[in-house]
Amino acid sequence: MPSRSNSIAETNLSETKRRIYLDHAATSWPKADGVTDAMVEFLSSVGASASRGNYASAMKASELVRSLRYKLARFIHAESESCISFHGGCTHALNCVIHGLVGSSKSIGDGSHLLLSAVEHNAVIRPLLVAAKSCNATVEEVPADRNGLLDADEVISRINDETRLVALSHVSNVTGAVQPIAEIGAAIAEANRSRSESERILFLCDAAQSLGYLPINVASLGVHALAAPAHKGCGGPPGIGMLYLSPKWHSAIQPWMQGGTGHDGRSDMMPESMPAKLEPGTMNLPAIAGWLAAMESMATPNELDDSSQKLAALSQRLHVGLNGIDGIKVFGQPGPLPIASLDFGPDLPPDDAAAILDSEFGIEVRSGHHCAARLHCHLGTETAGTLRISGGHGTTSDEIDAMVAAVAEIAAQITSLV
């Protein structure tokens, strides 16, 4: 209630105010070393389009694209660079693969069965529902538990003879739950062995919350398509994303957008070769330069292991701290990423709690449904959503402790006012 939250704010809960950014699940901040400099350098010194000319600066732009494509392919263990296409963000990449493969005249067509989970982001749900409607396909949702975790056996049991697509998030953006992708991928691979090409299942993974934080091997995960942005775990800029597509699906996918490319400009049709067939228009070269810089600043394998241990320790610290506070509900559990959602109850809606944390403690967190409204029906938070806390590579244990202390202070104030 507004009056209740105003009373809490007026008590001036903390005399010290500093900026603590804990909304990394939305976007990372600050960005990785070298990102801003690389973007400025491109705009000030290069400025040309890729694949649009043979002069020096255009060739430099093309080299940036090739280098980033190569690094990302290596990073996720893709078969080749041709499996990586660039898009205007993870949402664009997801739309590209969904609309490019689902439809009556496409590979995944009329009357098929499409499977997704309650954990999915609207970037998957919305295009999938539109595509399904266009070809009279049915969409089935697999439920999640109160921590946003899927049961692999439950997902696998929903696959039937008509299933042509399984779309799952790698990590829940609400609770941080890491889904059993590899186990499900193995079951899909087994099902595909006895199917013809026209009946095979596409396994689509939304890696928005995992690329740059968790190791990703598309072969061992068993995924055929994987979409991810630059601006989260990689620490790159917004406005650029990637789509990995297995070579087995290259000929099947159709461009969901058409436009100019630097390949065969004489044709009225988009190129047939990958990845050019999925990349119409002028690329966001400043963002590509920034993402490349972020990838080049990525840690060595040993440093990545240290980073993973640090993130897991932060997750443990966050969840143990929050679960020790009376009067709140915590969603999620300790895992590899420091993400948790919480609910103060009806006396303090998440929006008001976020405002208090910002104004009184200088702590920036996200409130609401986090573009994953279906999951909140399983959490019991469908009315107002949750308050989400999400750390990243630059988050410190002191910041986690400050967050926990602030939540404890707010919860105590609510108790005293009730």
DSSP states of 389-407:
EE--TT--HHHHHHHHHHH
pLDDT at 241 over 60: yes
Sheet holding 163-169, edge to edge: 84-87, 241-245, 225-229, 202-206, 163-169, 113-117, 138-142
How confident is the model over 128-168, as pLDDT tens digits?
999 999 999 999 999 999 999 999 999 999 999 999 999 99
Q: 101-120: per-residue pLDDT in tens?
A: 998 666 788 889 999 999 99
pLDDT for the residue 22 = 98
User: Under 8 Å CB-to-CB from 404, ≥6 apart: which residues?
Assistant: 317, 318, 321, 322, 325
Among the listed residues 86, 57, 123, the one whose alpha carbon sits nearest the alpha carbon of residue 287: 86
DSSP states along 22-33: -BTTT--SSPPT
User: What is the separation of C-alpha 45 from the centre of its chain, rounded to a whole number of angstroms?
Assistant: 32
Chain segment 366-377, per-residue pLDDT in tens: 999 999 999 999
Of 272 and 220, more confident: 220
pLDDT score at 271:
86
Phi first, then psi, for residue 367 (nearest 5°) are -120, 155
Of 231, 288, 310, the C-alpha closest to 42 is 288
> pLDDT at position 47, please?
79
pLDDT in tens, 175-189: 999 999 999 999 999
Q: Which candidate, 106, 100, 128, 99, places its Cα nearest to that of 198?
A: 106
pLDDT digits (tens, 9 = 90+) for 162-174: 999 999 999 999 9
Q: Tell me what pLDDT residue 289 has.
A: 97
pLDDT at 9 over 90: no
